[in-house]
Amino acid sequence: MAEEITNTEGSKDNKQGKNAFTELMTPRPKRAASSPIEPKPSRLKPFKNRNGLDAYIEAPESFSQSTVISHSDDFVIINDLYPKSAIHLLLLPRDPTKFFQHPFDAFEDAEFLKSVRAEASKVRKQAASELRRKFGRFSALDQARSEALDADPAPDELPGGRDWEKEIMCGIHAHPSMNHLHVHIISVDRCGACIRHRKHYNSFSTPFFVSIDDFPLAEDDERRHPDREGYLKSDLKCWRCERNFGNKFTQLKAHLEEEFEDWKRI
């Protein structure tokens, strides 16, 4: 019986002080923790947290021109990382006394509001020019202008063509998704690939989206209470024809694609 329970190899290990069970249960020494590495602004992942816009504000020069369109001491203009329309830009004020304020509060400052409006007006013109570049060839209203551009000799004055600035919205969300103050400058089509659910759409298609021109808001303005008003949970309605899709987001998306094609051709 003694031979049946004796492990010959184990006996050898015991003589050498290497019992396998003992080795398995012995705590191994912990490795020293590596020192944390502070990421450079260009290595940060914007929009992955509520402070994601900070990287652009602090070091806009570290990003490519396809991301940061322009910057000055006062503002940074970027392409939205998750565009909700054909054109979707963000205007970021760099004033540290303002950029953590809710826009409802920040825009109570008349001088600050004036400066943001002036910058937004410039960016709106840039966005309108980009819309014309992308879609002007489809637009009936731009045909005369296109023909004039191709004429030889060219006319002394180009026809005005379509007013693409009217196709640009400038405003903020009543409940901003990011901590840093930002203004959306976005084309009206709402056909961006990153509109994926009702809240995305309604955040730009209901009073949840507050135009920069409406500030400062009155104290009793209902848009100060977006949750109470239920804007994000309201029925899905086409921004163009106002057809009501209820909660049928997939049907709305298909409809928006059709509207987009018609809208381009105005």
- Please give the positions annotated as active site: 182
Query: Per DSSP, what are the bridge partners of residue 77?
Result: 70, 91
Report the alpha-carbon distance of residue 192 to residue 34 in Å, rounded: 42
Which residues partner with 52 through β-bridges?
none
Q: Tokens 């989206």 — which residue?
A: 209
Report the alpha-carbon angle 91-97-99, nearest 5.
30
Q: Which residue's structure tokens are 């509520």?
A: 50
Q: Which two tokens stand for residue 21?
A: 């069970």
Residue 4 to residues 7, 14, 18, 22, 208, Cα–Cα distance (Å): 8, 18, 21, 22, 80
